[in-house]
Amino acid sequence: MPGQHAKLSASGAHIWMNCPASYRITKDMPDVETPYAEEGTRAHAYCEYLLRKALEPKAEIPEAIPDNREMEVCCQEYADFIQDKLIEDWEDLPEAFVERRVDFSKWVEGGFGTSDCIIAKADTIIVNDFKYGKGVRVEAEGNPQLRLYALGAIDELSLWDFEKVEMNIIQPRLDHVSSETVSVAELLEFGERAKEASELAFSGNGPAKAGPWCKFCKANAICKERATKPLETIRKILDIGKGGKDR
């Protein structure tokens, strides 16, 4: 259903997997959509339109219009990337799933999300993610969002005998494409770690841990754990200074 959100989202996995306490702190906080997020939503809609028009030429597809020339070019680059993937592996009879809802609740209770494009072929499943933002360069390596989507995809497409998982992030405004390929066995190991972290988060007893992920947490302005980190750094600097004087 539109507007539905998973309690522990795939996009926020880098937060709750590193800091399970973040769920307890933020679960009642409202989501605030920024102009950048709204712009990204419109760009994704245009990407979907371009891909469906290319892959389903006989279907009646509601038209989507880009905001500007930059969005038009960037979304076309993404659509071309997907089509090139399909062409280069045409002998494996690849099948593409555009804007596919994936359910990873086997690992994270209530977990689901929407993958921009999934390609299934022979022994490999390919999870593709379009990023329209240009503020933060996003890497595919170890990316928990892509891995959770991949878990949901291989679970749904269980009739395919996948051995490998390829994950791609396409970020045209930064002229950036990042890829990672892992075995299904390695992905399932990640799934167990995600399951443990999610259970800690839901228990309400998960530890708080500050780190780079705090930047994207809704509680970053009120989090006590984050506030203590600068003080700890200052104390360490002062302790080093005292030690230097004593020697």
pTM above 0.75, yes or no: yes
User: pLDDT-derived band of residue 246, with 50, 70 and 90 as boundaries?
Assistant: very low
Task: Give the pLDDT of residue 234.
Answer: 39
- Render pLDDT for 82-92 as a digit per residue (tens, 0 to 9): 999 999 878 88
Type of residue numbered 1: M
Q: Is residue 186 part of a domain?
A: yes
Q: Is residue 240 part of a domain?
A: no
Indicate whether 244 pLDDT > 80: no
Q: Is residue 216 part of a domain?
A: no
Q: Is residue 187 part of a domain?
A: yes
Segment 98-124 shows an average pLDDT of 95
Give me the CATH number covering residue 80. 3.90.320
Type of residue numbered 116: D
Segment 25-43 shows an average pLDDT of 87
Task: Give the pLDDT of residue 236.
Answer: 40
- Render pLDDT for 117-151 as a digit per residue (tens, 0 to 9): 999 998 999 999 999 999 899 999 999 999 999 99
SS (H, E, C) the chain: CCCCCCCCCCCCHHHHCCCCHHHHHHCCCCCCCCHHHHHHHHHHHHHHHHHHHHHCCCCCCCCCCCCCHHHHHHHHHHHHHHHHHHHHCHHHCCEEEEEEEEECCCCCCCCEEEEEEEEEECCEEEEEEECCCCCCCCCCCCCHHHHHHHHHHHHHCCCCCCCEEEEEEEEHHHCEEEEEEEEHHHHHHHHHHHHHHHHHHHHCCCCCCCCHHHHHCCCCCCCHHHHHHHHHHHHHHHHHHHHHHHC
Q: Is residue 226 part of a domain?
A: no
- Render pLDDT for 40-60 as a digit per residue (tens, 0 to 9): 999 999 999 999 999 988 888
Q: Is residue 192 part of a domain?
A: yes
Domain extent for 120: 13-206
Indicate whether 31 pLDDT > 80: no
What angle in degrees, to the nearest 10, is found between the helix axes of 69-88 and 35-55? Answer: 40
Under a CB-based contact definition with an 8 Å cutoff, are residues 162 and 123 in contact? yes
Q: Is residue 155 part of a domain?
A: yes
Number of folded domains that form the chain:
1
Neighbouring C-beta atoms of residue 125, cutoff 10 Å: 22
User: pLDDT-derived band of residue 240, with 50, 70 and 90 as boundaries?
Assistant: very low
CA distance 34 to 113: 20
Q: How far is CA 31 from CA 15, 198, 205, in A?
A: 15, 20, 23
β-strand partners of 119: 96, 126
User: pLDDT-derived band of residue 216, with 50, 70 and 90 as boundaries?
Assistant: confident
Q: φ, ψ for residue 80 (rounded to 5)?
A: -65, -40
Q: Is residue 85 part of a domain?
A: yes
